[in-house]
Amino acid sequence: MNPWNNDFPILNQSMNNKRLVYLDNAATVQRPLPVLRAVDEFYRTQNANPHRGLYALSIEATERYEDARHTVAEFIGAEKDCEVIFTRNASESLNLVAYSYGLTFLKEGDEIVLPVSEHHSNLVPWQMVAKAKGAKLVYLYPDEDGRLTDAEIEAKITAKTKVVALAHVSNVLGSVYPVAKIAAKAHSVGAVVVLDCAQSIPHMAVDVKKLGADFAVFSGHKMMAPMGIGVLYGREEILNAMPPFLRGGEMIEYVHEQDATFAPLPQKFEAGTQNVGGAVGLEAAVRYLQGVGYEKIQRTERELLNYALDGLEKIPHVTVYAGTGNRVDRCGVISFNVDGVHPHDVASILDMDGIAIRAGHHCAQPLMEYLQVNATCRASLYFYNTKEDVDLFLESLKKVRGWLGLGA
């Protein structure tokens, strides 16, 4: 019996008459009861529109919202609470940076450096900026182990670089990129660092100062909070220099017929009624993560990753992308293919055994091109997974080619 099943009731469910084995944690993780309860309690006892009412309930809702901001700010090592902006998700946070910072401060000939493995959310907004401003995208290419080498970093980040946008952890290869080193290089040429922590913060400590992030983004739903709440961290000085992204209620100081002035941080970037229930859930998720502890999360996931990679090495006709050798700078995300079988078929066959994995391009088509594939299968782990989950996954995978009448 999985010891986490009491906290994660969804893991007790069966799928296709089999025990659910949830291995799509890079897409979204499951929510534990304390998070579900916190959201439920907020809506049952504290719900009101924050920052608006002068009555007690609204003040209480405002306090809950701002407490959540404080918890997140402390959690990521921000200097001030106002450096934490609540958004809907990592994608919205990245669009905010691209539209507000990118369109304002980049100019013709500037370069935006990013790994070719970036999620479309940290790539397509920069294509928009590059097109609008006459800037250029310059890609960092990982080596066969999924690492970004010093030579690649040195060659690509130059005096022309104005933005270095990268994921802390690749959502396809699982690579953990050397962010502090890259940030130091970026800062030495005067570039800002936009760090996508969507795949790292569920698994490892993120300290924005130590990592050297000028901006950092993540989504609540990948770290056990509800869907629809996300975070943008930005250094106060830079956020102050940026124009608002979305305009409307709550983000203004004063509105005249022809013009408006804007509220100070963080409200300047939070137009309209905010997802207070989501922020409350995010705070509960942070508390839950702290309760489990990153040390335990990493220990468990590393053990499971090694176990899964060892198992995959023994299955013929399976290719693991970024290989199975790099087990150090890597999180529990494994992309692979089975010879002669479309990834969608692999995922559907595993689904018949109750095993949920992802198949597709994982919102990383430039990486697919680089790997010379259209799609991959992806199994992604979280601390509540078990060796038994991995065994069931490996056993099911062994049957795939047989199912389709292909040789073992």
Which active-site residues does the annotation give? Answer: 363
- Taking the least distance from each CB to ligand PLP, the nearer of 62 and 215 is 215
As measured in angstroms, the least distance from the Cβ of 363 to ligand PLP is 6
Tokens of 225: 């909070």
Tokens of 344: 């969608």
Please give the residues from 184 up to 203 whose contact with ligand PLP meets the rule CB under 6 A.
196, 198-199
Q: Do residues 379 and 357 lie in contact, with contact meaning Cβ atoms separated by under 8 Å?
A: yes
**Closest by Cα among 283, 171, 270, 301 to 226:** 283
As measured in angstroms, the least distance from the Cβ of 108 to ligand PLP is 28
Q: Binders of ligand PLP: how many residues, by CB under 6 A?
A: 12
Q: Which stretch binds ligand PLP (CB under 6 A): 51-59, 89-97, 105-113, 278-286?
A: 89-97
Q: Say whether residue 71 binds ligand PLP (CB under 6 A).
A: no
Q: Which stretch binds ligand PLP (CB under 6 A): 115-123, 136-144, 185-193, 395-403?
A: 115-123
The angle formed by the CA atoms of residues 219, 304 and 182, to the nearest 5 degrees, is 50
d(CA 279, CA 283): 6
As measured in angstroms, the least distance from the Cβ of 231 to ligand PLP is 11
Stretch 206-225: interaction string toward ligand PLP, x if CB under 6 A: -------------x------
The angle formed by the CA atoms of residues 174, 77 and 223, to the nearest 5 degrees, is 40
DSSP 23: -
The residue within the footprint of ligand PLP, chosen from 30, 46, 91, 274 (CB under 6 A), is 91
- Taking the least distance from each CB to ligand PLP, the nearer of 120 and 287 is 120
Q: Say whether residue 121 binds ligand PLP (CB under 6 A).
A: yes
**Closest by Cα among 324, 328, 327 to 336:** 324
The residue within the footprint of ligand PLP, chosen from 119, 156, 203, 235 (CB under 6 A), is 119
Burial class of residue 291 in the structure, from the number of CB atoms within 10 Å of its CB (0-12 exposed, 13-18 middle, 19+ buried): exposed
As measured in angstroms, the least distance from the Cβ of 75 to ligand PLP is 18
Q: Which stretch binds ligand PLP (CB under 6 A): 40-48, 87-95, 236-244, 281-289?
A: 87-95
As measured in angstroms, the least distance from the Cβ of 45 to ligand PLP is 28
Strand stretches in 256-395, DSSP E: 260-262, 318-320, 333-338, 355-356, 358-360, 376-380
As measured in angstroms, the least distance from the Cβ of 361 to ligand PLP is 12
Q: Say whether residue 171 binds ligand PLP (CB under 6 A).
A: yes
Q: Do residues 327 and 298 lie in contact, with contact meaning Cβ atoms separated by under 8 Å?
A: no
The angle formed by the CA atoms of residues 100, 106 and 108, to the nearest 5 degrees, is 140
Tokens of 360: 């597709």
The residue within the footprint of ligand PLP, chosen from 25, 46, 89, 95 (CB under 6 A), is 89
Q: Do residues 379 and 23 lie in contact, with contact meaning Cβ atoms separated by under 8 Å?
A: yes
Which alpha helices (H) appear in 56-168, and where do they start and end?
56-76, 90-96, 103-105, 124-133, 150-156
- Taking the least distance from each CB to ligand PLP, the nearer of 69 and 378 is 378
- Where does this chain bind ligand PLP (CB under 6 A)? 89-91, 119, 121-122, 167, 171, 196, 198-199, 219
